[in-house]
Amino acid sequence: MSNAITFSCGFCGAPLNADKEQVDAPDGYDPNAYPHDACGSCMAEQLQPERERMIVTREMALDAGDPSLEGSVW
């Protein structure tokens, strides 16, 4: 496994080697100085099916102690 930075993750900004494995970031690391790709954990997250979303009801918002949450997507 090489520690040379070849890519940066376009999702989390982690430095990646040629095998797209995360490596330690040196001081002054700039993720925008490298071509973007995806690290293994971000790629796995992107491949997950979209989690179910719901609209916050009045009752849910009051239970949370924040009435302004009513109607928002959670």
Q: Which residue has the higher pLDDT, 36 or 50?
A: 36
Domain ranges of the chain: 7-69
In what helix (H) or strand (E) does residue 40 lie, and over which residues does it extend? helix 40-47
Tokens 């109607």 belong to which residue?
Answer: 71
pLDDT value, residue 69: 86
Tens-digit pLDDT profile for residues 45-63: 877 776 677 888 999 989 9
CA separation for the pair 70, 62 (Å, rounded): 8
What residues contact 56, with CB distance under 8 A and at least 6 apart?
A: 64, 69, 70, 71, 72, 73, 74
pLDDT value, residue 29: 95
Q: Is the pTM of this model over 0.75?
A: no
Edge-to-edge strands of the sheet including 15-16?
15-16, 7-9, 36-37
Tens-digit pLDDT profile for residues 6-33: 999 999 999 999 998 999 999 999 999 9
